[in-house]
Amino acid sequence: MLRKLASPFVLLMCILCFNESLYAQGNNNAANKLYQKAMAAFENYHFEEGVQFLHKSIEKDSNYLDSYIALFQYFIDHKKNREAIQVFERSYIKDPSYFTNLKVKYATAYASIGNYSKALSILKSQYENLPGNLKSKADELMSICGFAIQQTIDPNIQVMNAGDSINTAAPEYFPAVTVQDSLFLFMRRDGVTREDFYFSTITPAGFSNAIPLMDSINNTDKKGAPSLSSDLKTLFFAAELQEYGFGRYDIYTVLKTPTGWSEPMNVGPNVNTTYWESAPSISPDGQALYFCSNKPGGYGGIDIYVSYLDEEGSWGEAINLGPNINTKGDEQTPFIHADNHSLYFSSNGWPGFGNADLFVVRKKIDGSWTKPMNLGFPINSYDNEGSVAISSNGAEGYIASDRPDSRGGLDIYKIKLAENTKANKTYYLNGRIVEAGTKKSLSGNVKLADLTDSTQFMQIYVDNAGYFVLALPYFDTLALQISSPQHEYLSSLMTADSIKAFNGKTVEFELAPIQKVFTKNFENVFFNINSAQLQSRSYNELNALVAYLKNNPSAIILIEGHTDNTGSDRLNETLSAKRAEAIAAYLIQKGIDRNFIYTKGYGASKPIADNTSETGRAQNRRTSFTITLP
């Protein structure tokens, strides 16, 4: 899964051979012998010993510049950029012309510690003296510095190594976190090609010691990029499994069973091709699968795509997320947050602080995406930030990065986001749909919508076991709809307080079996005061009724309006009739046959509570409906 890079030793030896051939400096025989010993130590991967020999060489002859260059390159390769800068500045004054070819590396060291202004100053002052082959690299770095200097550094951003429970001397990468913020998954590479899934539980005290996922799931060497469904029962990942695959890397699922993980299942040809597909991220409602691919027809080398689950349970044709996200460069490692609204990813095509940076976009009402927003420094640095996962709290997350305090190569880091790049804080509930009275589990459909604009952003198809996990973004008000064939539907509003109260709870939702004739009050249909004008926050409940009537096209519906006893009987009857007619007009607008809709305004003639109190009068101001099935 990781792109292979040249080892620090290979890079070091290349630069040393290059410099020796051009610059044979220093004639002290003792210094030269120590330098040669350093080269032999490096060749045998004894780096610390080699560094000691270089220091001794410089002690013997402070003008032996090849030892300075070797030390500088060693520090650059091992992310010790401050030490590299010190070595360069100590040796440069001895013979500036000797270091011309290292000026871009010197500037890069400053960029790597976040001092982009100094890096830009170095490049501008030395640009005319650079050989032609380095000017293009200088141009690229100056462009990066220009972008970085213009950015405001948010003091709230934090980056902390995740610690020894997660990180080792081996590379760790591809972090993933569950909707419940209880389980943390990632990849660890053992050797050149071996990659294994690891997991750790998250507690208030921190991470448990990570252990490999058990069973046969880790059997194959080449795999990665885990993404776990909200109910923790389906794991999506990418792997090279020739017996199941269409191409080099494909996306697969395994199901959790009483005896362990199932055999891998290819998600199908609408997602996987003969090219490379990887980095799946499953949406919290399980209806959208985000991934990246290098197949032809995109905007660059690697693009991000999405596939939606159809009614038959198959993944539909993959859709490119378009030029608002994808560039002529590479966009990779998408992560859809638990709010089902914020998408994080890496890119080397958008302006950034170095190589690949991390970005966030938001889904708009029409389904398109906002312009990518850089997560900022120091989350992003001059080096590659290649994968990201954001906790359900929306403010914290995890990245894979190679930094000076890493335990070895790539490590997992915990981050705190700037305010403008946070996702919506998201809670969750464990739900079960049951039949009223019998408590029998029911299959069904769960929908969640934002009441402010009636946009649906979660939909879960529930099997006949009745259980589901629902992510609950912390909005002012959410509209919840639950339905099951041959049963009445449920439509309810969830306030911010109730969303928080539901967090982590198990809730049973009872649906009554459909009778030939049944009556219900509208619980979440609202009108302006003394008006028949529907408020937009009524649309979610009315849309649930529309869906029910479309599934039962022969049903006859009588819509009734009621008022309290305030005002004259004539005005109350007129207002109640107009409110019933307004609901009918909405149903007709949505495609319900007007010949099956009847309305009646009763005014204050059918109270259901006492009109002597405000509480009672509020209950009497209502609309209701009666459905008659053939």
Q: What is the pLDDT at residue 27? A: 57
Q: What is the pLDDT at residue 237? A: 95
Count the neighbouring beta carbons within 10 Å of the beta carbon of residue 619: 17
> What's the rounded Cα separation, in Å, for the pair 251 and 234?
13
Where is pLDDT greater, at 500 or 2? 500
User: Could you tell me if 458 and 450 are in contact, meaning their C-beta atoms sit under 8 angstroms apart?
Assistant: no
Q: Which two tokens stand for residue 67?
A: 């030892």
Of the candidates 549, 579, 555, which has an alpha carbon nearest to the alpha carbon of residue 489?
549
Average pLDDT over residues 379-395: 93
Q: Are residues 495 and 520 in the same domain?
A: no
pLDDT range class, residue 248, cuts 50, 70, 90: confident
> What's the rounded Cα separation, in Å, for the pair 577 and 571?
10
Rounded mean pLDDT of the chain?
A: 90
pLDDT tens digits for 295-345? 999 998 999 999 999 888 899 999 999 999 999 999 999 999 999 999 999
User: Could you tell me if 300 and 329 are in contact, meaning their C-beta atoms sit under 8 angstroms apart?
Assistant: yes
Q: Are residues 277 and 304 in the same domain?
A: yes
pLDDT at position 151 over 90: yes
Average pLDDT over residues 501-523: 92
Integer CA distances (angstroms), 38 to 48, 70, 80, 91, 294, in order: 9, 9, 18, 18, 43
CATH code for the domain in which residue 483 is found: 2.60.40.10
Q: Are residues 41 and 172 in the same domain?
A: no
CATH code for the domain in which residue 21 is found: 1.25.40.10
CATH code for the domain in which residue 551 is found: 3.30.1330.60
Q: What is the pLDDT at residue 242? A: 79
pLDDT at position 19 over 80: no
Last residue of a domain, one of 483, 514, 545: 514
Residue 484 lies in a domain: yes
DSSP one-letter string for 392-449: TTSSEEEEEE--TT-SSSSEEEEEE--GGGPPPPEEEEEEEEEETTT--B--EEEEEE
Q: Are residues 486 and 561 in the same domain?
A: no
Q: Are residues 189 and 295 in the same domain?
A: yes
Kindly report which listed range (93-107, 208-222, 335-349, 552-566) carries the lowest average pLDDT score: 208-222
pLDDT at position 1 over 60: no
Question: By residue range, what is the domain housing residue 131?
Answer: 8-150
> What's the rounded Cα separation, in Å, for the pair 159 and 180?
22
pLDDT tens digits for 190-222? 877 788 999 999 988 889 999 998 878 888 888
**Predicted TM-score of the model (pTM):** 0.86
Q: Are residues 557 and 627 in the same domain?
A: yes
Q: Are residues 408 and 432 in the same domain?
A: no
Where is pLDDT greater, at 85 or 258? 85
Q: Are residues 280 and 322 in the same domain?
A: yes
Residue 536 lies in a domain: yes
Q: Are residues 417 and 476 in the same domain?
A: no
The alpha carbon dihedral of 132, 137, 140, 142 has a sign of: negative
Last residue of a domain, one of 514, 535, 560: 514
Residue 2 lies in a domain: no
pLDDT range class, residue 21, cuts 50, 70, 90: very low
Q: What is the pLDDT at residue 456? A: 67
pLDDT tens digits for 406-422? 888 899 999 999 999 99
Residue 324 lies in a domain: yes
Residue 211 lies in a domain: yes
Average pLDDT over residues 173-182: 93
Q: Are residues 447 and 560 in the same domain?
A: no
Q: Are residues 60 and 166 in the same domain?
A: no
Residue 310 lies in a domain: yes
Average pLDDT over residues 228-241: 94
What's the number of domains the chain is made of?
4
pLDDT at position 6 over 50: no
Residue 496 lies in a domain: yes
Last residue of a domain, one of 465, 490, 514: 514
Of the candidates 105, 16, 108, 107, which has an alpha carbon nearest to the alpha carbon of residue 65?
16
pLDDT at position 176 over 70: yes
Residue 3 lies in a domain: no
CATH code for the domain in which residue 286 is found: 2.120.10.30
Q: Are residues 219 and 267 in the same domain?
A: yes
pLDDT at position 18 over 50: no
